[in-house]
């Protein structure tokens, strides 16, 4: 599981703020080598409300 908005930044620890991430992808988020970030796709996105 991965927090979309980190709990240390005020994100809740509940299902509305969680997304599945495999170990390899999760390691790329934050300060990892990929510098990935997660967000909820905006309404104008092809997949609004999903995790990007």
CA dihedral defined by 32, 34, 35, 37, rounded to 10 degrees? -110
pLDDT at 44: 95
Q: What is the largest CA-CA distance in the chain?
A: 30
Q: So what's the pLDDT on residue 31?
A: 67
- Residue 25: predicted pLDDT: 80
Are 24 and 2 in contact by the 8 Å Cβ rule? The answer is no
* Residue keyed to tokens 């104008």: 44
Q: Cα–Cα distance between 45 and 32 in angstroms, integer?
A: 26
pLDDT in tens, 20-51: 888 888 788 776 667 788 888 899 999 998 88
Give the span between the Cα atoms of 8 and 16, in whole angstroms: 16
Q: Which helix (H) or strand (E) holds 23?
A: helix 23-26
pLDDT reported for residue 48: 92
Residues 13-22 have pLDDT tens digits of: 888 888 888 8
């Amino acid at each position: 599981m991965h927090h979309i908005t980190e709990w240390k930044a005020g994100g809740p620890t509940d299902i509305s703020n969680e997304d599945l991430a495999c170990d390899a992808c999760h390691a790329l988020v934050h300060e990892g080598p990929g510098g990935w970030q997660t967000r909820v796709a905006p309404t104008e996105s092809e997949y609004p409300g999903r995790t990007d």
